[in-house]
């Protein structure tokens, strides 16, 4: 199954050369990948609309583009049906302890 999913990432029309693709844990309604393309790193989200749960990928794309324009999210560099490619930024997942005041 992982090989088939990697092939979906590899088949995106954005790539100009071979890629190295590595799954990233997380995502409730999508699959995530860290992708090395030449000397650049990207983050790929794969996921289809799930109308019965109110999940529409065009909303995620619009929100991601708006967040980038506000300076709080990486740039969306490509989108196609069922996939979004963003510039990769190093970071960590926000956890509850990160929201507490340290006194």
Q: Which two tokens stand for residue 43?
A: 């983050």
Per-residue pLDDT at 89: 93
Predicted model pTM: 0.85
Residue in 62, 63, 56 with CA at minimum distance from that of residue 82: 56
CATH class, domain 2-99, is: alpha beta
Ranges of beta strands (E only) in 1-100 are 19-24, 31-37, 40-46, 76-80, 83-87
Question: Over pLDDT 70: what percentage of the chain?
Answer: 97
Q: What is the pLDDT of residues 23-71, one digit of tens each?
A: 998 888 999 999 999 999 999 999 999 999 999 999 999 999 999 999 9
Domain residue extents for the chain = 2-99
Pairing of strands 76-80, 31-37: unpaired
Using an 8 Å Cβ cutoff, are 43 and 86 in contact? yes
Higher pLDDT, 100 or 47: 47
């Amino acid at each position: 199954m992982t090989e088939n999913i990697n092939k979906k990432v590899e088949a995106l029309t954005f790539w100009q050369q071979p890629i190295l693709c590595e799954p990233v844990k997380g995502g409730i309604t999508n699959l995530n990948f860290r992708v090395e393309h030449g000397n650049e790193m990207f983050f790929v989200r794969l996921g289809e609309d799930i109308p019965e749960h109110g999940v529409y990928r065009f909303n995620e794309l619009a929100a991601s583009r708006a967040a980038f324009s506000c300076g709080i999210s990486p740039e969306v560099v490509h989108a196609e049906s069922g996939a979004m490619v963003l510039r990769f930024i190093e970071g960590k997942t926000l956890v509850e302890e990160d929201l507490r005041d340290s006194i």
